[in-house]
Structure 1
Amino acid sequence: MILNNNTWASSCEFQNQGKTNMHLIEIEPYLWELYKDNEGIYLNVNVNNQATSWEKTIILDQRAIQEYLEQGRPFINNLACRIENSQIRNDYEKYYSYRDVCLVKKNAMLEIFLTWKKSSI
């Protein structure tokens, strides 16, 4: 689900103490969300392994951002699937060097997601 025609804008915006404008760019419900602020682009992947589930939230590097800009949503779908599989296999660090998102940014992402969820009901 693309939130609007302009990939870099969103109807959901969160101001974090004047430092960060977090935007929910795209979402594949129950699988992943893609966020952007003035510092980077972040991918939150929902990892489901039978009875348990968790999230892996990463900062996209410049190469991944460029691939997203060139390929769009299919790139993010593929990356999210590969990350989920590597998390389940417990070999993420072997194949990926994306940095994890800090707690402050995760909280901003959660706030924006909840705002989006309320507005989409």
Structure 2
Amino acid sequence: MPDIGTILVIILVILVILLVVSLVFRLIKVAIVIAALVIFVPIICTIMWGDGTDYVSKFASIFTPDIEEGISEGYEAYRDEYSKNPVVDMDQVEEYFNQAGKWAGDTIGDAVFPEK
């Protein structure tokens, strides 16, 4: 009959192996989610706020020609309407970033790098 120390060592080894396996699977899952985000977020941003005609035409090509034409026309109408009335005003965003950079430089820059 094995003693209690041997049984505890075996149980601890099994628990460590299970912990390592669960960590590896979790890291793989996290890596897949990050890879999907890295691929799909720029595509979605390009379609929503840029010229995503190439992406839309590639997506639409898997459908029948009538549906493909409808998707392409719908995206063109969306893009034209967005250019007339954009949700995000890029000039205003750039102005905010410039003001924030100037404020940070004036506030933090003087504290970190005082003038002589």
What TM bracket, shorter-length normalisation?
Answer: under 0.3
Structure with higher Rg: it is 2
Query: TM-score, normalization: structure 2?
Result: 0.26
Query: TM-score, normalization: structure 1?
Result: 0.25
Which of the two has greater helix per residue?
A: 2
Which of the two has greater strand per residue?
A: 1
Question: Which gives a bigger RCO, structure 1 or 2 (Cα 8 Å, sep 6+)?
Answer: 1
